[in-house]
Chain A
Amino acid sequence: MNSSADTAAVPGQARRLVLEATDLRRTFTSGSRLHPTRVSAVDGVSLQLHAGEVLGIVGESGCGKSTLARMLVGLEKPDGGSLAYHGTDVTRGRMSDRRLLRRGVQMIFQDPYTSLDPRMTVGDIIAEPMAATRSANAADRRARVAELLGLVGLAPDMVNRYPHQFSGGQRQRIGIARALALDPDVLVCDEAVSALDVSVQAQVINLLADLQARLGVAILFIAHDLSVVRHLADRVAVMYLGRIAEIGDTDTVYSSPAHPYTQALLSATPSHSRSDRGKLARRRILGGEPPSPVNPPAGCRFNPRCWMATDECRTLEPLLRTLGARDVSCHHAEDALAQAVMAG
């Protein structure tokens, strides 16, 4: 790994803080009225996003990464905690604050087939954020739409076509153009490339990297595909059942994971190299039931499946603490790290 070049690219503390989530919580109630069950989707997540940085979020289904994304763009109201955009708390209070968040933080959705209105033309779809915020007049909007289409690599004469006339990759480009319409500071991509074919996925990943470099927009990139996140992200956060297990510099987390869950997750990921064949057979096998956010366990939420769990883990919730170039929430992070180094 070219770590020296990478550390230079990682935004230093001097970079402007754009979005700061503090102790965000969200619980859903489901089940019958008589026997309600509480689904704790996100439980005390704090993270910071600096200008121009790419933060990856990985985790398995049910870990709360989509709920987190929806809270960050204001589609979901948190039950607790706060979200600050450029230092202004936008979770409670005035409408103008929430408008600020909507302008500055935009989302790119997973499924390019359902996230575009089939009865609107591409031009109308891309202009809609401007229409909704009543910014710019019709002529300016048209010019901006043409500019945005060029930016995402589509021909400007496509404005009058409908979504069904485009392929999946092109539709995702339209979704990206729409998200960029208001010139946001933050793009939240929730599994933005996972519905695309491999050959098309690479095009969209390159496009996102280009836009990030050209426009300086910060990207929160949520994915279950660890190799895509490794490619794009400066920093990465690993989530498990609504909490952050480990967050830090991408290379550090991938090459020397300190949380047992991160280790297990990485070891179960198939490598894209034939020489690593058999890697999965040597993986860290997790026992127990797959995670469910319904009535999560006390203490560390990973403890029923963790091979290092002690009584401490079953009772006491581990807080995120700094260990080297990362923050990790595990009582035994030092031991886990040492074991991983010994195992090679």
Chain B
Amino acid sequence: MNPLAAALTVRDLSVTFTGGGREVTAVRNIDLDVARGEFVALLGESGSGKSVTARAIMGLTDEYTRVDASVLSVSGTNILSLSEEQRRLMRGERMSLVLQDALSALNPVMTIGRQIGELFIVHRKATRKQARASAIELLALVGIPAPGSRVDDYPHQFSGGMRQRILIAMAIALEPEMLIADEPTTALDVTVQAQILDLLGGLRDQLGMGILLITHDLGVVMEVADRLAVMYAGRIVEQGDADTVLDLPAHPYTQALLRSVPEAAVKGERLLTIPGSPPNPATTPSGCSFNPRCHMAIDICSTARPPLVEVALGRASACHRSEEMLHELVS
């Protein structure tokens, strides 16, 4: 297995909602790369389009959603050219998704064993007995105590952290090359969150899959991300190696986010804030979407949208003043 092989390649992905008479573009022309064995974080606030991106990549969209992309491939397989049925078979087998709300993602009237086993029955044509044995094995892998007896329990008999582990178990059951985790720890307590992040990191090392972690939590990003993409109003505004981006952001939004967390400020002092609130996808401002809230905005920002361009080796930023930001901070 080549560790640098691409697990996910996305080029020029746009997602438009066509329901309700008026078209609303939630994701605009984004590019994403995840290599095998790599932990990439997609950071954004609510409404930035990060979950829509995940669903579009997975092909979990409804009839009122239009997905456009020039390239969408999972470890070399172009998904766009596949039929709906072929795509369905890819889900679980080669790419999978872990959702945030584990209670509503699990079927309440099926035992855990049946739900996990279903994957093996559908994809691997396993017998019920084999499927159950594989389910027990997976439950042990994700650290559920006494898997042999708990396999016959129903979702409501598990705690929140356990349910999230079960979702992860289902997602990794067929050893996919690509795992997308949409806010997998947001509803969990910190001690459980630490366990889940550990688990994802360990599985990444063991199975060599690429992980795209969608989150709004900077603390989680700091801890696990190898690379980072920051989304704002449907666009990626900055991406690159996590160490460099977090150390020296080249986009004012990333910089402001980093400075607005309480830990960055001295106790009792005011936190740095970003005025206003994230724009509604239906009414994004002209020019740079961030310009009305940006402390560095100049005239050109409200008229011309800055493209996402490479500002240094391996990192890109969509800001007219990225160069200045990098230099000002360096000198």
Question: Contact residues of A with B, CB < 8 Å?
Answer: 1-2, 5-6, 9, 60-61, 167-170, 197-203, 205-206, 209, 224, 226-228, 230-232, 250-251, 264-265, 268-274, 276-281, 283, 285-286, 289-290, 292
- Report yes or no: A274 in contact with B273, Cβ–Cβ below 8 A: no
Q: In angstroms, how far is the closest chain B Cβ from the Cβ of A251? A: 8
Interface string of B76-107 (1 = CB under 8 A from A): 00000000000000000000000000000000
Query: Considering residues A9, A197, A224, A269, which has the most beta carbons from chain B within 10 angstroms of its beta carbon?
Result: A197
A327 to B278, CA, bound (A): 42
**A278 to chain B: which residues have CB within 8 Å?**
223
- Report yes or no: A61 in contact with B273, Cβ–Cβ below 8 A: no
Indicate whether A276 sits within 8 Å of B222 (C-beta atoms), given known contacts A197-B45, A199-B257, A199-B260: yes
A226 to B256, CA, bound (A): 20
Indicate whether A286 sits within 8 Å of B273 (C-beta atoms), given known contacts A230-B262, A250-B267: no
Across chains A and B, which 10 residue pairs bring their CB atoms closest together, nearest first?
A270-B219, A231-B262, A60-B189, A202-B260, A199-B274, A197-B45, A272-B263, A202-B271, A167-B277, A268-B194
Q: In angstroms, how far is the closest chain A Cβ from the Cβ of B103? A: 13
Q: B314 on the interface (CB 8 Å rule)?
A: no
- Report yes or no: A272 in contact with B219, Cβ–Cβ below 8 A: yes
Q: Which residue of A lies closest to B44 (CB)?
A: A197
Q: B71 on the interface (CB 8 Å rule)?
A: no
Q: Which residue of B lies closest to A266 (CB)?
A: B190
**B256 to chain A: which residues have CB within 8 Å?**
199
Interface string of B173-215 (1 = CB under 8 A from A): 0000000000000000111111101100000000000000000
Q: B326 on the interface (CB 8 Å rule)?
A: no
- Report yes or no: B191 in contact with A286, Cβ–Cβ below 8 A: yes
A292 to B272, CA, bound (A): 38
- Report yes or no: A206 in contact with B271, Cβ–Cβ below 8 A: yes
A276 to B224, CA, bound (A): 11
Q: B220 on the interface (CB 8 Å rule)?
A: yes
Q: B159 on the interface (CB 8 Å rule)?
A: yes
Q: Which residue of B lies closest to A267 (CB)?
A: B194
Indicate whether A268 sits within 8 Å of B193 (C-beta atoms), given known contacts A198-B218, A199-B257, A274-B246: yes
Q: B18 on the interface (CB 8 Å rule)?
A: no
A9 to B269, CA, bound (A): 12
The contact of B247 among A203, A271, A274, A292, by CB within 8 Å, is A274
- Report yes or no: A199 in contact with B273, Cβ–Cβ below 8 A: yes
Q: B270 on the interface (CB 8 Å rule)?
A: yes
- For chain B, the count of residues having a C-beta within 8 Å of the partner chain is 48
- 19 interchain pairs (CB within 8 A)? A1-B267, A9-B268, A168-B46, A197-B216, A201-B260, A203-B273, A230-B263, A231-B262, A268-B194, A270-B220, A270-B223, A272-B218, A273-B222, A278-B223, A279-B223, A283-B194, A285-B195, A290-B192, A292-B159
The contact of A264 among B191, B257, B275, by CB within 8 Å, is B191
**B271 to chain A: which residues have CB within 8 Å?**
202, 205-206, 231
The contact of B267 among A61, A230, A265, A279, by CB within 8 Å, is A230
- Report yes or no: A271 in contact with B266, Cβ–Cβ below 8 A: no
Q: In angstroms, how far is the closest chain B Cβ from the Cβ of A6? A: 7
- Report yes or no: B261 in contact with A265, Cβ–Cβ below 8 A: no
- Report yes or no: A270 in contact with B222, Cβ–Cβ below 8 A: yes
Complex interface residues of chain B between 219 and 268 (CB less than 8 A to chain A): 219-220, 222-223, 242-243, 246-247, 256-258, 260-268
The contact of A199 among B161, B195, B246, B278, by CB within 8 Å, is B278
- Report yes or no: A202 in contact with B267, Cβ–Cβ below 8 A: no
Q: Which residue of B lies closest to A224 (CB)?
A: B189
- Report yes or no: A280 in contact with B194, Cβ–Cβ below 8 A: yes
- Report yes or no: B160 in contact with A231, Cβ–Cβ below 8 A: no
Q: In angstroms, how far is the closest chain B Cβ from the Cβ of A219? A: 14
**A264 to chain B: which residues have CB within 8 Å?**
191
Query: Considering residues B194, B216, B258, B260, which has the most beta carbons from chain A within 10 angstroms of its beta carbon?
Result: B194
Q: In angstroms, how far is the closest chain B Cβ from the Cβ of A316? A: 25
Q: Which residue of A lies closest to B47 (CB)?
A: A197
Q: In angstroms, how far is the closest chain B Cβ from the Cβ of A165? A: 12
Indicate whether A168 sits within 8 Å of B277 (C-beta atoms), given known contacts A60-B190, A276-B222: yes
